[in-house]
Structure 1
Amino acid sequence: MRVLFIVFLLFQYCFSQNVSIKLKFENVQDSIPILISKSINENPAYFQKDTDTIYTKNNSAVLNFATISAGYLYFSVSRANPGINILYEPNDNIVLNVSKNDNNKYHIHYGGKSSSILIPINQDTIYKYQLLNRKFSPIITNAKTKEEVFNFCLQEYDKELNRINELHDKNKITEEIYKVSILNLQAIALFNFNSIIEDNFRRERYKETKLTEDDFLWILNQNIDFLYPNEEEYEKFSSLTSLLNLSNIARIYKESKRNEKINISNLWEQDSYLNYLPLKYQENYAAYLFLVDALKEEELLQFKKTFPKSKYSSYIEHKIDDKKAIKYQPFDFGYYINGKFEIKTHLKSENISNLIKENFRGKPVFVDLWASYCGPCFQEFSYSEKLFEFFMKHKIEMLYINIDSEKNIKKWYPNIKGSNLEGNHFFASDKIQQSLQELLNEPNGVYIPRYLLFNEKGELVLPSTKKPSEAEELYQQILNALNKV
């Protein structure tokens, strides 16, 4: 048995090849951290979030790793780069020249043997949630039948698939990249289509349409049947969207009362929708939940019992040990910059007005209220880098106030680091709700994301600003309110 194991390792080693990805910049500081989400090992199917970190030095940053086949990785937004999606294959050498134009917008020149695929996966509408939402939501609102909505999904998918096919037919991408390009397209299309549909459904916008609740479930299921890869394909490819798809698909299966096989892993309650997933999928998704602190350490024992040969187990244990080294308390107040988080003090009050006046005397402050459970908050975080640059230019303080319950404080720092939220941070906990309700005169509760602006006297001048994604409109609103125009 030991001989067979050694032979297997040698086989893996011989067939894995190095990948090198170099980012080149213009006039960026050294030691800026760039978070990367990729596989935890040489098999691209073992993708997880925030697995690696590289640092800028001499206007460049380099990632080297080994792989046995083509796969996907993601460079998170940092002070040096926008978010960048990458499809790679063994023996790849990819160069990303990152620059900014006169309007302070990023431009990336992609180099490498299959670099042609990197342009569409980073720019085309189907891969961009907000762009697709602007195009898709009016279709949902005005559709007379459920088929109209589903046909829109088919048409958008086919349009992008034709672009990939054209690149392949012209030999601009290799066969391996072609295959993972299609799997990546299926994953992102399914996630974005169904997320937009559900967003309209959850906000009860369907009441403004001619569609019923059953119509929406029908469309969601049609998209799953059309775009969800089979188990054999999933063994070859994984990404963050494919991981997130797992939970959404299982939930829709249960809501639709589909006649799907139930696979009991004892990781969840017996009536949990996650039991609709095949065991291999449950292993991957459970690993993701551990790594984002959605499963507790004591549940790792059941995970190892259910999946005794899982390649995730030692990786999860290592990450748990790393997080144990850092202990935070409710009402901690700190500052995050260049990948480092320093707790400045421990405050005794969750009163937001006192917090501003006592800690930011003579300075205007922009407040971002957020929590780990708030999906829209994280969507807006992708605009935080440009927002921070604007505040630095105009000498405005950035303050992120987390309103999670105290038991979820362990998610605070990982979320700050994962979204690269540079600025001041305060873990106020959900106890701040009463203070906020009084300040904003909203007795029924304050919803997030929510953005506030205080002037240099500590006075609330904007109780609800525009969102960071509204960029110039928000910047102008802030300058007008502070009389800085």
Structure 2
Amino acid sequence: MKEGRFIFIRTSGSRYKYLLPLQPGEKYKISIDENNGLLAYGPNEAGIELYQSVWNEGLRPMAMDWGAFFENDTFSRDEMIEKVKQEELTGFKKLLDNKKITRSFYKLIAGDRDCFYASISAELYLQDMLKIYRSPKTDNSILAEENTMKQLQNIFDRYKPDDKNLMKSPSWTKYALSMYTKFYKQYFAKHINRDNIESLINADSHFSFWFEQIRQSFSDEALESALALLIYRAGPENNDVVEASVPAFEYFKEKYPASHYLQYFQYYMNRAILFYSGNKLDSSIYFIEAGDRINSFSELIFQLRGKKLYVDIWRITCGPCRGEFQYKDSLEIILEQHDIIPLYISLDNNNQDKKWKALVYAYNLRGIHFRANQAFIDDLNKLYLDGKNPGGNEKKSFSIPWYMLIDKNGHIVEKQAKRPSEIIATKRLLN
């Protein structure tokens, strides 16, 4: 790293996630105890430990019931939020005074806390604004709207969304792209009214619109970061490859040709461009045409008889499904050694056909691809329940990702086969 940053660590197969404030050029020893608590040894370790407790408490960020803090009218809402923030920072100031942490470490924490609580404050005022816009227009509501706008403007003037110290905070994405760009700028620009407020809130799919809003809201390093986040989230790491993200990606490459962010989405976007431009891609990716006429798993396997198959049942909105794709290259080597062909069965709707195929090409999923209709999905559920007692404690429907092994005769060898990550770990296909 070139400067202090926050790093997320998640252990494999665990729901626990850890956030570490780290400094460049330093070495740390990290361990996780039997209670899933994170221990860090190295520079600023006392500050890292304190931040773990602060961040774990802050996992309530926007879900936290701040109303409980405002029952006592000794403090205003803004005063109470500032009080909570300063109480947190007091612990870090003591560590700084006792030379347990460096000044650069403290500055990183202070910027993070500023961004975190500015985001909370902004969201609360934006909730106030939504209540105003969802109510009949009166003289009082007009006055309330003006006052709320002043409060929001004060927040964004005091904690500027393009402040480099705030940009290092994990809360910056929500603060800058959601609170500031999506909501505040729209209220301020009068792009909304009581008739279209709901459509604005649910306008996440309007990629081109938000691309322009970001370009108008930021410049320089903040613009680079914001656009990279927008493209990254609209690409394979989110739910699908949005066709509208292609021109945004081209704009980003031209404006920031040496951006280090490119490494996170350039490969996927380049393949998406090939797909959307109609260019021929990898011939080893084969789509079963007229798949909507195949209504059962046995029908599909019958058409592929004579082939040993590793079946991967997935959906473009399934994060764990896409997470397993990172092992596909190593998996392909093992499958080839056993003369097995990957068969990917998508559970996506027919109106997602183009996005589904674009994602297949983006991940370069070589093999056979089939999109299931509802009858096929119902048949899969029967296959899952076959031999099970639906009245017992077992699940009454299957979950994804779901993997199977099929022999040349179309027989199911493994109904619950290993995941790609498990196969790579053990180098074995069978349980």
**TM tier relative to shorter chain:** 0.5 to 0.7
Number of the residue aligned with 1:349? 373
Give yes or no for contact 1:364–1:396 (8 Å, CA) kept in 2: no
- d(CA) in 2 for partners of 1:423 and 1:238? 34
1:16-415 mapped onto 2 (5 Å cutoff)? 67-76=1-10, 78-80=12-14, 82-101=16-35, 106-124=36-54, 128-130=58-60, 133-139=63-69, 148-195=76-123, 198=126, 212-214=144-146, 216-228=148-160, 231=163, 233=165, 238-248=168-178, 249-257=180-188, 272=213, 274-292=215-233, 293=235, 296-313=245-262, 316-321=265-270, 333-334=313-314, 336=320, 339-341=323-325, 345=345, 346=370, 348-350=372-374, 356-363=381-388, 396=395
Quick one: which amino acid aligns to residue 74 of structure 1?
F
Partners of 1:126 and 1:218 lie apart in 2 by: 32
- The CA distance in 2 between the partners of 1:258 and 1:321, in whole Å, is 35
For 2:252, the aligned partner's letter is F
| Code of the aligned partner of 1:76 | R
Aligned 8 A contact 1:149 1:219 in 2: no
Show CA shifts across 1:60-104 (max 9, x none). xxxxxxx22222211136425711111111332222221334xxx
Q: Does the Cα contact within 8 Å between 1:70 and 1:180 map onto a contact in 2? A: yes
Supply the distance in 1 between the matched residues of 2:396 and 2:343 (Cα, whole angstroms).
Answer: 17
Q: Does the 8 A contact of 1:254 with 1:273 survive in 2?
A: no
Kept in 2, the 8 Å contact 1:94–1:111? The answer is yes
Output the amino acid matched with 1:348: A
Q: Which residue of 2 aligns with 1:10?
A: none
User: Matched residue pairs, number?
Assistant: 293
Who is 2:278 aligned against? none
Q: Measure, in 1, the Cα distance between the counterparts of 2:286 and 2:101.
A: 47
Give CA deviations for 1:20-49 in whole Å, capped at 9, x if unaligned: xxxxxxxxxxxxxxxxxxxxxxxxxxxxxx
User: Which TM-score applies when normalising by structure 1?
Assistant: 0.48
Q: Deviations over 1:223-259 (max 9, x none)?
A: 333434664546xx52442233221313344234289
Q: Rg bigger for which structure?
A: 2
Q: Is the 8 A contact 2:181 2:213 kept in 1?
A: no
Change (3 A) 1:338 1:298: closer
After the TM superposition, which of the residue ranges 185-194 and 339-348 deviates more from structure 2? 339-348
Indicate conservation of the 8 Å contact 2:214/2:223, yes or no. Answer: no
The 1:118/1:319 distance shift into structure 2, 3 A limit, reads farther
- SS of residue in 1 equivalent to 2:28: strand
Paired letter, 2:46:
S
Per the TM alignment, residue 176 of structure 1 is displaced from its structure 2 partner at its CA by 1.9
Deviation per CA, 1:313-342, whole angstroms, max 9, x where unpaired? 465423435778899999983395895258
* 8 Å Cα contact 1:186-1:229 kept in structure 2: no
| Higher deviation after alignment, 271-280 or 166-175 | 271-280
> Partners of 1:199 and 1:364 in 2: how far apart?
47
- C-alpha distance in structure 2 between counterparts of 1:314 and 1:130, whole Å: 32
The 8 Å contact of residues 314 and 321 in structure 2, kept in 1 or not, is answered as no
| Percent of residue pairs bearing the same amino acid type | 13
Letter in 2 for 1:79: G
SS in 2 for 1:113: coil
| d(CA) in 2 for partners of 1:180, 1:109 | 20
| Distance (whole Å) between structure 2 residues aligned to residue 168 and residue 111 of structure 1 | 17
User: What's the Cα RMSD here?
Assistant: 4.6
Could you tell me which amino acid in structure 2 is paired with residue 340 of structure 1?
E
Contact 1:253 1:273 in 2 (8 A): no
TM-score (normalizing by structure 2): 0.54
Q: What is the letter of the counterpart of residue 334 of structure 1?
A: W
Evaluate the alpha carbon distance shift between residue 216 and residue 338 of structure 1 in structure 2; reply closer, same or farther with a 3 A threshold.
same
- DSSP 3-state at the match of 1:75: strand
CA distance in 2, matches of 1:201, 1:353: 45
8 Å CA contact 1:251, 1:274 repeated in 2: no
> Relative to structure 1, is the Cα distance of residues 129 and 350 closer, same or farther in structure 2, using a 3 angstrom cutoff?
farther
Change (3 A) 1:334 1:358: same
Greater strand share, 1 or 2?
1
2:6–2:170 Cα contact (<8 Å) kept: no
Which protein has the bigger helix share? 2
Any idea what SS the aligned residue of 1:173 has? coil
The code of the aligned residue for 1:188 comes to F
Alpha-carbon contact 1:187-1:242 (below 8 Å) kept: yes
